[in-house]
Amino acid sequence: MIIAQILKSKGRGVMTAAPADTLQEITLRLASRKIGAIVILENGNVAGIISERDIIRLIAEHGPKALDMQAKDGMTRNVISCTRDCTLDEVMETMTKGRFRHVPVMEDGALVGIISIGDVVKHHISEVELEVTAMRDYLATG
């Protein structure tokens, strides 16, 4: 399965923020949408990403005043992305090696979606279930 198929079923909407937005503003968006990361855009380009883990780390380091910090001061800048043509296995490997749970999907330099570990697991389970069903059918008709 390729990432384009996952985006087709889940949609291509991506929550974004600006580098000057505060972590307080970002946490409110994350909570209201029940999502775990937000992509930071600057002049239409991906400048970074902030996840729940990043916010927890910043609060641990700076205390409550971390919520007044701007996104640009706490975001992950070296964002690893994928394309719609990447396979599910490739993205799973990237997430596992990098120890992160969100991967923006880029096409021709533009942000076209985001894939979470939840999306990856859901679609991987679907693939495995299809294989099991096919094997059962094959064995039953033997």
pTM to 2 decimals? 0.84
Q: Give residue-wise pLDDT tens across range 25-71.
A: 999 999 999 999 999 999 999 999 999 999 999 999 999 999 999 99
Q: Give residue-wise pLDDT tens across range 72-83.
A: 999 999 999 999
Q: What percent of the chain shows pLDDT beyond 90?
A: 72
- Judge whether residue 142 has pLDDT over 70: no
Residue 84 CB coordination number (10 Å): 17
Q: What is the 3-state secondary structure (H, E, C) of 72-97?
A: HHCCECCCCCECCCCEHHHHHHHHHH
- Judge whether residue 102 has pLDDT over 90: yes
Class of domain 3-141: alpha beta
Please indicate whether residue 136 or residue 105 has the higher confidence score (pLDDT). 105
